[in-house]
Structure 1
């Protein structure tokens, strides 16, 4: 085993996709909307990948939009791509949907187990209010919180990472004692590599967001697992317990 939890003083996490299971909710929303207008609507995979491409474009724009506006622009982009009507009420409902996205079953227990031994942080491409909802779903209080709203940028841009590193350094934790964990190759693993951070890829089964696009093919995780529970077991040698 390459690492133990004793090698680190802090573990930072991507949130949506890594700890919050957003893909099924996104697909279900877009599926209901598309099927309501066109019985020959695009497949689930086509809708999801259209969302993935669109968010990468809008998240790169500066000054940065708040995440609800990213979702509104993604919705309009998907509607235009597939020729499906985009009404304002459905667009706004999509923008509010992060508040209802659920946590993975292993997220709370895994985070609580790690937090008994190390600081934990959230580095999320989201707005502050939506991350507060996610924390309620996770039933956890992170030691540091870095959002796109706070830093005015979206991963894979580096302000999230620079801010988290500075926050942890203020707690006496150097960069070499940080483990960063993410599901997105594009937004988390590749920039972590470039910044010299040790990183773990949680390759959740049947999840696709963030696994393609610019930089994804260059990602080189130091550790790959299929769940947070598996990561905790590898780091601690024990099963996560509540």
Structure 2
């Protein structure tokens, strides 16, 4: 864990959620496995998640109208099923699409957030839609002070409107906001908008042997092993 520097101005923390706060891969794979479909559950989870960036790009380029994340997830899921020649009942597919509402947190997430919340407002800054994030918080016991979603801004991260919109809604200057994420690209985009950054690596996000994006400690204002360590570094 590195020692924080230049964070005296920070007044609130905003968090990426998928992969940073919750373990999407294990959660999705477990539900796919329970359905008994003739697929490899972890590989199916990976393929589902892999369709997400290109789906967002379709929205950015105007090839799709604004579509919240539940809608994008369903488009990707339908395509995966078609590619595999699978035709499960509609009710089963619709229920699986909502698996993203009930993802399990990493073991340190809830206790770490509670500690951080004692000192700072803790807020989501996610591409997930509001209803998804609310359901997830209730399912996983995540103690958010507020839920900020790309849906509020009509833009998906890493568009600057999301990071700057969060600062605006909190009536803060960008440098008074600390973005916490397990993804260097998210943090780089936040830093380009003037936010402070905290990197919390999640080496198991993509399972055993999963590749992590390259990064250097000097890129971020703070690096911590998990949310408990992050709380300690910030004096919470």
1:198 matched to which residue of 2? 196
* TM-score (norm: length of structure 1): 0.78
Q: Within 5 A, what are the aligned runs for 1:44-59?
A: 44=42, 46-59=43-56
Tell me which of the two structures has the higher relative contact order, counting C-alpha pairs closer than 8 angstroms and 6 or more residues apart.
2
1:2 matched to which residue of 2? 3
Number of residue-to-residue matches in the alignment: 224
1:235 matched to which residue of 2? 234
Secondary structure of 2:189's partner?
A: helix
* TM-score (norm: length of structure 2): 0.80
Deviation at 1:163, TM superposition (A): 1.0
Question: Contact 2:73–2:97 at 8 Å: present in 1 too?
Answer: yes
Question: Contact 1:42–1:82 at 8 Å: present in 2 too?
Answer: no
CA deviations on 1:200-240 (whole Å, 9 max, x unpaired) are: 1221231139x989xx667843333331112112222xxx6
TM-aligned CA distance change 1:222 to 1:82, over 3 Å: farther
Q: For the residues of structure 2 that align with 1:74 and 1:221, how far apart are their CA atoms?
A: 33
Unpaired runs of 5+ in structure 2? 60-64
Q: Within 5 A, what are the aligned runs for 1:1-242?
A: 1-3=2-4, 6-33=8-35, 36=37, 38=38, 41-42=39-40, 44=42, 46-62=43-59, 63-85=65-87, 87-136=89-138, 137-142=140-145, 144-168=146-170, 170=171, 173-186=172-185, 188-208=186-206, 220-236=219-235
The alignment's C-alpha RMSD in Å is: 2.8
Deviation at 1:139, TM superposition (A): 4.3
